[in-house]
Amino acid sequence: MNIKLVVVGKLKEKYFAAAIAEYCKRLSRFCKFSLVEVRDEKAPESLSLAEMEQVMVKEGERILDKVSDREYVFALAINGQQLTSEEFAQQIKDLTTYGHSDLTFIIGGSLGLAPAVLQRADAKLSFGKFTLPHQLMRVVLCEQIYRAFMINSNSPYHK
């Protein structure tokens, strides 16, 4: 099984990078895990609506360049489906049971995801209505993917 995170921007904080490295190590016993960073579009602080759309489109093109047709894609979106950890684990188990061995999770840039990326997604996933830094969201997502594997292997980690 292959799990890939496609994210916009570089991870700058060492403590987030250390946490992600730890989850990558833990996940290696369950899957081939990779993190793909695409360049964020440089933009001034205040943008018009048209400029915001242009930034999202450019970042979206970079994201979609890293996604193949065979991948099952989860887009992280505030209006996506909210799942419990157990439901998420079951969804991963069901996908792998029915032939989806390449799962990709997409975290957009600060402005969100382009419509083309949301259209390509097979599922939209939300971690609630809170606004979280995208770097922190990477850590949270890695932990939940790891937790899903632990739930599916009946490990006491989840308790």
Residue 76 labelled as part of a binding site: yes
Residue closest to 123 by CA, chosen among 75, 89, 69, 87: 75
Beta bridge partners of 36: 6
- Share of the chain residues as helix, strand and coil, in percent rounded to the nearest 5: 45, 25, 30
Determine which helix (DSSP H) or strand (DSSP E) holds 119, and give its type and residue range.
Answer: helix 115-120
Residue 108 labelled as part of a binding site: yes
Residues making up the annotated binding site for S-adenosyl-L-methionine are 76, 108
Residues making up the annotated binding site are 76, 108
